[in-house]
Structures are given as C-alpha cells and as structure tokens.
Structure 1
Amino acid sequence: MSYDKTALINRYRWYELVGIYAGIALFLTFVLAPFVEGFLVSLKPLSQLFSSPYRFWPENGSFDAYFTMWDSVPGFARYIFNSFFISTIATLIVLLLVVPASYAFARFEFKGRGQLLGAFLAVNMFSGAVLLIPLFRLMRTMGVLNTYFAMIVPGVAFLIPTAIWLLRTYMMRIPRELEEAAYVDGASYFYTFRRVVLPLAMPGIAVVAITTFICAYAQQFIFALTFNSKTEYMPLPIGLFAYFGRQEVIWNELMAASFVGIAPAMIVIFFLQRYLVSGLTAGAVK
C-alpha cells in the first residue's frame, strides 16, 4: 500500500508553514546563540572583548587561545580526565543499581512501593548544597575525603531517583505476555529478566545512561570544592574556575577550555545519539 509522504505537510497553507519554520528558527536561535557567541569569544584577543562598539564577529580572530589555555592552567588535561572518569564510573554504578530496581518497581507489587517512589521523587526537590555538611561529616568519618570516591558516591545518590523513574516508565511498556510465556516454559525470574526484559529495555537503558552521564559531568563542582583539596582529583569545573584570576578573567581561554572540556561528553552523545532517539520514541506505537 503506497501513500504520499508529503500528504501531512501539504495540509498546511503557505503562511502556516512560514509560521512553523519561523518558530523553529527562533527557537534554534535562542538555543544556539550562547554556543556561537562563546566560540567567537574564544577566537577574539582579549583587547577586542571589551571594545566599543561591540563587534560580534572577531577581527583577526585566531585559535591561539586553544593553545595558550594549556599553559594558563597547568594540568588541565588531568581535570578533563577526572571529569570523564568520575562520570563514567558514576554512570556504571547507577545502571548496575537502577536496572534491577526499575524492573522490580515496574513489575512487582510490594508494601510501600508507592511511598518509596514518592520518596525518590522528593529527593530531587532538595539541592545538593542542603546536604553538604552531613555528607562532609559522613565522608570524613569514612576516611574517603580527597579521593574519587568522595565525589562519585554523592553524585550516584542524587542520580539514582531520576534514573529509576525514567527506566521504570519504559519497562512498564514492555508487554507482560512475553514474560508470562517465558514463565510457562519454565524460565526463572532471573533468566526472564536477563534474556527477555534486558534486550527489550536496551533503548531505555541507553537513554538513562546518556542522561546520567551528562548530569554526572555537570554536577561535580560543588562536591569537588567540599570533599576534595588535592589537585590530582579535581574535575573539569574546578579547572575552568582557575581561569578566573584576582585581577581579570581570561575570557577567550575560558571559552576555549569550556569547548575542549565538553568535547568528551559531546563525542559520547554523538556516537550514542541513535540509541537516545530510539529510546525516546520506542513504545510510542505499542
């Protein structure tokens, strides 16, 4: 059965299409403008950043800041590695805990399930700054200050509730009949979970993994300042903060370092974006 792929588009009048595309263009302008401006700032010499009148496009722009930034903050590559390492380990721990927990919340009825889910949701309403002092005392008692552990564990604790809610919703869309058929054939709960549920839940797991990695990459500043004082364990946000001097801010190198610092996260998103899209749209026609 053939159909015209442009049928839905042709339903709109020309001025409606103009309005739709104008709205999309306006939205993209607001979303992309900060990134474009930040990139252009990284190409400008410091003398042009505060010139009057302001020039949007750099005059005699160059990529010098992308080379000099490494000398302004020694060990900047270590900051990037630390952020990537902390985010990766935190994501793996979250997935290890959240995948079975989400399946249990999606499939099994047990006392206090609703209250526990509500408690998970309530955790997201509190800022991490509220719990800094109790967490600091806990970390000091455990003797893990100035380690990767001190930043990974609090990050995991704040990321688990959101991950459970996201993955639980996805697993609820998986037909129960598939699991019941496996039970009839004599499969155990664990075998059914491993061989039936997990393959079907991979798009949802990919979405949770990507969002968790991004959040873990972005939330390290306050934990690093509180639980670490050693440079070798500091993440990227602390390295970026080093460009704020007492007398001036090296804005062009700061912008260059920001783009270099987020490159690992962008590479991960680029290679996993097809899983992200499939995970967000999977189940829409079930």
Structure 2
Amino acid sequence: MSTSTPMINRYKWYEIIGIYCGIALFLIFVLSPFVEGFLVSLKPLSRLFSSPYRFWPEHGSFAAYSTMWESVPGFARYVFNSLFISGVATVVVLMLVVPAAYAFARFRFPGRGPLLGAFLAVNMFSGAVLIIPLFRLMRSMGVLNTYWAMIVPGVAFLIPTAIWLLRTYMLRIPKELEEAAYVDGASRLYTFRRVILPLAMPGITVVAITTFINAYSQQFIYALTFNSKTDYMPLPIGLFAYFGRQEVIWNELMAASFVGIAPAMIVIFFLQRHLVSGLTAGAVK
C-alpha cells in the first residue's frame, strides 16, 4: 500500500529554506510600499522629512484620517463617483462580453481571427494616445461633464481583455453538454442560459473582479479630460487635490489613498475564493 508524499517534503532542507526566503523577499518587495505609505499616514506632517529616518513613526496617530475630510470636503463624493463609475462599467462590460465570448468560443464566422487579433491590438494602445479622438467623440455624443464621459471610454478599453479571458474559459466547457441539450429539444438561447452560464460563472466572476479593479484604477486621465464638474469627479482627482501650490499634504494624501482603495480591497477579500477557483477551474480534468 503506497502512500503519497506531499511535494514540499520531496525537497531537501536547504531547498525549502531557499523557497521560503524567496517568498519572503517577494512579499517584502510587494508590500513595503503599502507599509511605508501607511506609516506616512500616521506621521505628523512636520516630522515626515525629519532626520534621522525612523521606520516606526514617533508620536504617530490616526489624525490624518479625520483631517483629510476637511482638507478636501468633497472626498466622500469622489469615492462614491469612483465606485459608481466602476460598477456601471463592470455591468456594461459583462452584458456585452458574456455573449460575445460565447460566440467567439463556439461559432466559426468570417473575420473571427482578425477580430480577435484586433482586440489584442487595442490593448497595445494607451488611453492617452487616443485622448483627442475620444474627446471629439464624447463631445459629438453630448456626454461631456457626465458619468458616461468616463464610463464609455473605460468600457471600450476593458472589453477586449474581458473577451479574451472569458473566451478562454468557455473553450474549456465541453461541447457535448450543449449537444445533449439540443437532443432534448432545448433551444440555443435556453442552452446558453441554463447550461453555459452556470458552468461559466467562475470565469464570469474573475472577469467581473478584474474589470472592476481596472475600471477603478484608470479614471484619472478620462476625468481630467472629459469632465470639469466636481460632482462627477472620481477618486484620482480627489487625491490630486491634496497637492497644494506650496506643499503636498503627504500624510493626508496617504490616508485618503488607503480610504480610497478600501472598497476594492473589500471586494477582493470577500470574492478571493471565487477569484482563485475561477482562475484554476479547467486547469485539470
């Protein structure tokens, strides 16, 4: 009777130490900016550039987390705008991408390959390159100084990546399931709704999370170009308000940054199980 040995136990002791040291080094490299930013938010502004440097803030407090609302009175509105823009963009992307990814995964039609290649080419261009044509397009549509001025360009740049991600996942769903449904008399729409969508839900969850995070982080250039009303400004513009003419309020800026990214971190925290399962689903049979 054979017993299976965990893969980690097959390494020698010094190899295990090397693995954990590499993981620790990677985590230090990734997390150190966040740790330093959090410590800056705890330091008084007068002690930020004091010498000698102290890692742990002396006389540190959470005062910046309360005074930041006074420095930028509309900061709560900025956070709400970012959440609203990202949420609407995510819903619109999913409504367009789910049927499109299914079509690219199952149907063969003229121009399918070049169209998929064009989607990849779109991701090679930065939004800044197309900012002037986009501005003229937004002006012709009459959506300047509205939420849609930031939602429409964001959706346009998020769709190609979402289609590729979800199409790859749908390719792993066996066609025999659809064929069995057709034999039982189900229509294509019924099969898509009752068979494909439930099986594709982990992949759809991954696309929804990545789309929300990307939409939450790419709003600065669109808001700065297509919007001039404070009521519609997203979070990046609110953070930019902490840059004064004479000085930058670094501790309040860091505090506002952590408050601003908290919604995205909460989303990832509660959906990380679905994110991991969606990324690994279909990897093995």
Q: Same fold (TM over 0.5)?
A: yes
Equivalent residues in 2 for 1:54-69, closer than 5 Å = 54-69=53-68
For residues 74 and 2 of structure 1, the distance between their equivalents in structure 2, rounded to whole angstroms, comes to 67
Aligned to 1:29: 28
Amino acid at match of 1:111: P
Q: Percent identity?
A: 86
Aligned to 1:260: 259
Q: Deviations over 1:136-183 (max 9, x none)?
A: 111111211100011000000000000000000000000111111111
TM-score normalised by structure 2 residue count: 0.98
Establish whether residue 192 from structure 1 lines up as the match of residue 205 from structure 2.
no
Structure 2 regions of 5+ residues with no counterpart?
none
Q: CA RMSD in A?
A: 1.1
Cα distance, 1:221 vs structure 2? 0.1
TM-score normalised by structure 1 residue count: 0.98
Q: Deviations over 1:207-234 (max 9, x none)?
A: 0000000000000000000000000000
Aligned to 1:248: 247
For residues 132 and 170 of structure 1, the distance between their equivalents in structure 2, rounded to whole angstroms, comes to 32
Stretch moving more, 125-134 or 87-96: 125-134
SS for the counterpart of 2:128 is helix
Amino acid at match of 1:10: N
Equivalenced residue count is 285
Runs of 4 or more above 6 Å deviation: none
Cα distance, 1:7 vs structure 2? 2.9
Aligned to 2:49: 50
Aligned to 2:228: 229
For residues 15 and 125 of structure 1, the distance between their equivalents in structure 2, rounded to whole angstroms, comes to 43
Stretch moving more, 185-194 or 76-85: 185-194
For residues 146 and 6 of structure 2, the distance between their equivalents in structure 1, rounded to whole angstroms, comes to 59
Stretch moving more, 130-139 or 220-229: 130-139
SS for the counterpart of 2:109 is coil
Amino acid at match of 1:285: V
Aligned to 2:95: 96
Q: Deviations over 1:1-57 (max 9, x none)?
A: 9845x5322211100000000000000000000000000000001121111111111
SS for the counterpart of 2:56 is coil
Q: Deviations over 1:199-257 (max 9, x none)?
A: 00000000000000000000000000000000000000000000000110000000000
Amino acid at match of 1:116: L
Amino acid at match of 2:117: G
Aligned to 2:163: 164
Aligned to 2:275: 276
For residues 233 and 129 of structure 1, the distance between their equivalents in structure 2, rounded to whole angstroms, comes to 20
